[in-house]
Amino acid sequence: MMEELKYCPVCQQEVFEKHLECKDHTVSGEMFIVVKCASCGFLFTNPRPDKTNIGKYYKAESYISHTDTSKGLISKLYKKVRNITIKKKYNLVMKVSGSPASLLDIGCGTGFFLSYCQEKGLAVQGVEPDEEARKYGAEKYGLYVFEEDWLRQVPDRKFDVVTMWHVLEHVHELKTRMETVRRILNPGGTVIIAVPNAESPDAQYYTEKWAAYDVPRHIYHFSKKDITRLVETFGFDVVGIKPMKFDSYYVSMLSEKIKGNKLGFVKGMFIGLQSNLKASGKQPNHSSLIYVLKAHNG
């Protein structure tokens, strides 16, 4: 069943215009509309599958965060790069939060990042809506991974760090999620959010075939100004923005696959490199960005 938003999730205005029409290349082959808020410019998928029906759009072996598959060249490269980026994520957590004792990873998938943090001595817990991914993390790594409803039971001021790596673009109840994160964060705690950047050079190059639109699983398509405006509403400041440079190559290779390019690996690497070069500067504008948040009174 589809649901249609009447208000912009960022500025709450009511006037939207059609921005793009994108195809679900992963599961259904269906077409979805990405609209643009006439007031603030925020992009979001509208209409979209409701929360009770979105699950079927994740049922694909190629959805690697849920299956941990190694089939196909791109999936194999993804996993090799993940081994590198997982350490970078951990180092970032330690750098921006001091010496945290506890960490919650929302949307932890199969638990690879959490298991690394656990090995390093952090007290970790995870939230993951996909049952198979939860089971994988628990059985393979011995992690405590819960369904999303568990967040309602978490006591106030429970965690030093809350991370959401490529998760916020999936969350139907955006307001509830941000309020919850604010509530369960310890005073002085840190929130780290990573999302695709809809204003990146590779997004501009591929337009409706940009793989990171990933409709209908991605229901929001953020820019830097969108994230800044959104998190300020819930009492956070953006205190740092970091690039995820590998994503430019990965997303570009997937986008070339969508285009049906038989030499997609080579072309994707080239476009990814170009995107990273154009995106570098004092304010990074890469394919995916990491936002470091602190509470106003933190």
pLDDT tens digits along 170-225: 999 999 999 999 999 999 999 999 999 999 999 999 999 999 999 999 999 999 99
- 8 A C-beta contact, residue 178 and residue 231: yes
In whole angstroms, give the CA distance from residue 19 to residue 46: 11
Q: How many helices (H) and strands (E) does the chain have?
A: 9, 13
Say yes or no to pLDDT of 129 above 90. yes
In whole angstroms, give the CA distance from residue 265 to residue 280: 23
- With CA atoms as reference, report the closest residue to 240 among 224, 262, 217: 224
Alpha helices in 164-244 (DSSP H): 174-184, 201-206, 224-233
Q: What are the φ/ψ torsions at residue 192 (nearest 5 degrees)? A: -120, 120
How does pLDDT run across 25-37, given as a tens digit for each residue? 999 999 999 999 9
The continuous run of DSSP H or E covering 20 comes out as strand 16-23
Tell me the pTM. 0.93
SS3 141: helix
Say yes or no to pLDDT of 65 above 80. no
pLDDT at 66: 47
Alpha carbon separation from 297 to 229, 235, 293 (Å, rounded): 17, 8, 12
- With CA atoms as reference, report the closest residue to 255 among 82, 69, 74, 65: 74
In whole angstroms, give the CA distance from residue 154 to residue 183: 9
Alpha carbon separation from 89 to 8, 164, 189 (Å, rounded): 31, 11, 16
In whole angstroms, give the CA distance from residue 41 to residue 19: 10
In whole angstroms, give the CA distance from residue 47 to residue 45: 6
Percent of the chain with pLDDT over 70: 93
Say yes or no to pLDDT of 71 above 60. no
SS3 88: helix
The mean pLDDT of 117-140, rounded to a whole number, is 95
* 83 or 129, which is more confident: 129
Residue type, 155: P
pLDDT at 231: 97
- Domains within the chain, CATH numbers bracketed: 2-295 (3.40.50.150)
How does pLDDT run across 46-57, given as a tens digit for each residue? 999 999 999 999
Q: Residue 2 CB: number of other CB atoms within 10 A? A: 11
- 8 A C-beta contact, residue 77 and residue 250: yes
